[in-house]
Amino acid sequence: MVNDPFKALAHPIRRGIVEHLAAGPATVGEATAGFGVSKPAISKHLRVLEETGVVTRTVEGRTHLLALDTEVLGEAAEWMEQQRRRWTRLFDVVDDYLKEQK
């Protein structure tokens, strides 16, 4: 599961859509405005965001409302935090070792 949000955020257009949705739910048009790509391209990016669980879509009549699933993004953030703590500890050990060698 942890790879899914990273796949979703791997492309700058998808990151831009996520940034738009960080302010709150929005229609497809609002969330995808200004990217300068075709509607089929936007549809493909939205499909990736939805398949990975980062974005949910609610259909109300003709209006498609998009929203972030912060739980999925939270899982990815927690994984990154675990990696940051692990690498910080390893770098601290290497730093201590190098100081001892002087």
Q: What pLDDT is attached to residue 24?
A: 96
Strand-strand pairing, 55-60 and 26-27: unpaired
The whole-model pTM stands at 0.77
pLDDT digits (tens, 9 = 90+) for 27-43: 999 999 999 999 999 99
Contact call for residues 14 and 49 (beta carbons, < 8 A): yes
Domains of the chain: 3-101 (1.10.10.10)
Per-residue pLDDT band at 3 (split at 50, 70, 90): low
Three-state DSSP state, 67: strand
CA distance 79 to 76: 5
Share of the chain above pLDDT 90, in %: 72
Q: What pLDDT is attached to residue 5?
A: 86
